[in-house]
Structure 1
């Protein structure tokens, strides 16, 4: 009997003290060739891999980031000039691979997107992007609109979606071009970056 209790207590001590280990890297070229293994701090329960591709005119930039996270959700979003995918997992070293290549496979859904001048552009959704999104920020009397494709998981997380700082009227809809074509004003890229950083870090 005493042996069973001792084994049980040892098991509890070892499992309680286990820290998650994840790969860590930040690559501005899109590929994490020099990723390192990292022991996550207390409170981090997930490993995350995110990739962001920004296209402005003929210039294309790809950033890949891997790290530990206190909370995370797998998602994909495409605002036309910015496309981001994030995948999360919760076992040791589970973020070894880069972003899932299926996230770039078109799924047939189309949504309106904005380019800073108008919101009548159409973007083809891919991977798990099965919803259209529209978000508005009002600051200093100006209204900025962002539109595009998102994953259902992002739309279902009403806590994250409706608590993005300085952004109001975030709404998701299902069906081709359901997020409407309207005009847009300035600060478009700033709003895109604000939304992306919030979704990836919360």
Structure 2
């Protein structure tokens, strides 16, 4: 009986004393990443890279997160790739960048219209279309997205509508008259922090 109690107490000590450890760095270059013990409730390590078209540098980020989905989202002018894992210090490597087109095409927006086409790459197997209220303006963005990012779309703040679809150019061409940078920042922060 005493042996069973001792084993049970040792089990409790080992399971409660072990917290996930992840590499962390502020979004930027991640040249100075540190290994940190995650706070309670964090179950995943995240590693992300964001590339803005026309800019040669990349913004990297690593952190502990409560939940995470691996995948990428591409609006044509910016692309974010997120890699998630759930073992100690598993986010040492940057997420893989898949630059080879996969044959999928979606509409994307610029400041004038949403009629340009975008070649998707990697695991971007869906098209996304979203409308958001930003400072009283209705903003539209479109592009390519991984299936994993289409599952939980209700928690993106200020979203009027967001939808994902399968099939080439299924997110429809539509003109826009407002800047779409407000929504881009909202969507990117959502994907980086969830």
TM-score normalized by the length of structure 1: 0.89
The answer to whether 1:115 aligns with 2:106 is: no
- Check conservation: 2:106, 2:144, Cα contact below 8 A: yes
Partner of 1:143: 138
Q: 2: CA distance between counterparts of 1:40 and 1:23?
A: 9
Aligned to 2:179: 187
The aligned counterpart of 2:48 is 50
**TM-score under structure 2 length normalisation:** 0.92
The aligned runs of 1:77-116 (5 Å cut-off) are 77-101=73-97, 103-116=98-111
Number of the residue aligned with 1:173: 165
Deviation at 1:120, TM superposition (A): 1.2
Distance 1:24 1:169, change over 3 A: same
Q: CA–CA distance in 2 between the matches of 1:48 and 1:144?
A: 28
| Distance in 2, Cα, partners of 1:97 & 1:84 | 16
Report whether the alignment pairs 1:39 with 2:37: yes
Change (3 A) 1:15 1:138: closer
> Which stretches in structure 1 are left out of the alignment for 5+ residues?
none
Contact 1:136 1:169 in 2 (8 A): yes
Q: CA deviation at 1:87?
A: 1.0
Paired residues for 1:54-65 under 5 Å? 54-55=52-53, 58-65=54-61
What is the deviation of 1:140?
6.3
Q: Is 1:201 equivalent to 2:193 in the alignment?
A: yes
Of 140, 151, 158, the residue aligned with 1:156 is 151
Alpha-carbon contact 1:50-1:64 (below 8 Å) kept: yes
Alignment partners' CA distance in 2, 1:74 and 1:167 = 22
CA distance in 1, matches of 2:61, 2:151: 24
CA contact (8 A) 2:139 2:182 kept: no
CA positional deviation for 1:121: 1.3
Moved over 6 A (4+): none
For 1:83 and 1:140, how far apart are their aligned partners in 2? 24
Match of 2:124 in 1: 129
| Structure 2 gap ranges (5+) | none
